[in-house]
Structure formats: structure tokens, C-alpha cells
Amino acid sequence: MQILDPSHEEGAEGFAPAVRLAALKGATVGVISNGKEGTKDFFAAFEQVLREQYGVGEVVLRTKSNYSAPADKGLLEEAKSWDALVAGIGD
């Protein structure tokens, strides 16, 4: 039996997670959806929670052009301007 690993590991060395925000109040939070049907209602409710319970200043919702592919380069560039990012999936 041969087991194949489809993951892409190039450049994984030296990776460090982003520094955690001290608070979300006033922050711009980007949400990248995979575009599947199950995400629509969830992200609407999620945005409401972010604004009402955490005082988030702006929620930017974007949808990938293809749910099974990585986010487009333009979207990744835009994400650099956000204070926090949530990548979500759904069916």
C-alpha cells in the first residue's frame, strides 16, 4: 500500500503564528468564507456577535472564488490590512 500526502509543506520552517490581539474592540476583522451554502447564515450571526459582544469596528466578509482552492493573491493582499482574520468553512 502506498500512502500519499497531498499537503504542501514548502516554506513551513520558521513559521510563527501571529501575535494575539489584546482586544477586538475597534478592530477590523476579516472573514474569508469558502462560499458553500452553509456559511451564509453562520457568518451573518458571527458578524453580529463580533460587533455586539466584542465591539469590533468593522467586519469584512469575503468569499473565495473556488471553495476547494487557496484564496486568491488579491484577497491575501487585502487581508494584510485587517487586524484579525477568520477563515471559515461550511456545507
Average the pLDDT over 33-51 and give the result. Answer: 89
Whether residue 1 lies inside any domain: the answer is: no
Whole-model pTM: value is 0.78
pLDDT at 11 > cutoff 70: no
Whether residue 38 lies inside any domain: the answer is: yes
pLDDT at 13 > cutoff 80: no
Residues above pLDDT 90, as percent of the chain:
52
Q: How far is CA 18 from the centre of its chain?
A: 13
Q: Are 49 and 20 in contact (CB under 8 A)?
A: no
Q: What burial letters (b/e) apply to 74-84, b meaning 16+ CB within 10 Å? A: eeeeebeebeb
Non-local (6+) Cβ contacts of 74 within 8 A are none
Please tell me the predicted confidence (pLDDT) of residue 41. 86
Whether residue 2 lies inside any domain: the answer is: no
Q: How many domains does the chain have?
A: 1
Domain carrying residue 70: 28-88
